[in-house]
Amino acid sequence: MDAAQLRKIEEGAEQMGIRLDPEQLKQLGRHVDLMLKWNRSINLTAITDPDEVAEKHVLDSLAVVPILPSGSLLDAGTGAGFPGIPVAIARPDLEVVLVDSAQKKVAFLKSALAELRLPKARAYSVRLEGNPSKEELPRVHAAVARAYATVQDWLQLAQHYVLPGGVAICMLGPSDAPPERLGDLALKQQLAYTLPYSKSQRRLAIYKHL
């Protein structure tokens, strides 16, 4: 990414209440560059215009940063590392667990994590089935999914990975209707946000594990 595109990320993040230092911006740009390079040989993203990637992948991912508790985060169906890698860059205090069932995508993730020097983030090639001990995955303080199955399917799965008192987060469009409760998860809060350049409307639904 060039300087103008990085500035777009910086200014967009500021509009969303998130401050990024120069090193974090450099890491975010490098993640995008690596993704677009690998995308020539494996299918990581359909969005390849850097300006679109900046908003629809990077800034949309950063929307969850202000609401995350301390501790650990699981990103389910992470694909090219969204939202998990931008979160790991913006919140270096967090242990970030990136999970995807596609081995080629996880090969990319492991390479990217090494190059970006994110030692507290790890990538696993696992199909989530609600059994973290069998899958050798930790239970976490927060879990998030972006464009993963349906809201109900994600919540049904997420409750098995989130520690009691932790949160499961759904990244939604403006018309999605999240349930008030599913299993051990109860809807705690909904937050609306707007992507700063396209003005697209988004929402976060935050569920507490009872």
Asked whether the beta carbons of 72 and 94 are under 8 A apart, the reply is yes
d(CA 183, CA 201): 28
For residue 100, the enclosing domain spans 3-162
Q: What is the pLDDT, as a whole number, of residue 174?
A: 85
185 lies in some domain: no
* Tally of domains in the chain: 1
Residue of 163, 170, 204 whose CA lies nearest to 184: 163
10 lies in some domain: yes
Domain with residue 29: its CATH number is: 3.40.50.150
Give just the sign of the alpha carbon dihedral 153, 156, 161, 164.
Answer: positive
Q: What is the pLDDT, as a whole number, of residue 173?
A: 87
Is the omega angle on the peptide bond into residue 83 within 30 degrees of 0, that is, cis?
A: yes
43 lies in some domain: yes
125 lies in some domain: yes
Q: What is the pLDDT, as a whole number, of residue 176?
A: 87
- Per DSSP, 197 falls in state T
31 lies in some domain: yes
Residue of 76, 75, 161, 159 whose CA lies nearest to 118: 75
d(CA 187, CA 185): 7
190 lies in some domain: no
Both tokens assigned to 202: 């988004």
d(CA 158, CA 88): 20
d(CA 193, CA 149): 22
Residues of the chain with pLDDT under 50: none
pLDDT in tens, 77-102: 999 999 999 999 999 999 999 999 99
153 lies in some domain: yes
21 lies in some domain: yes
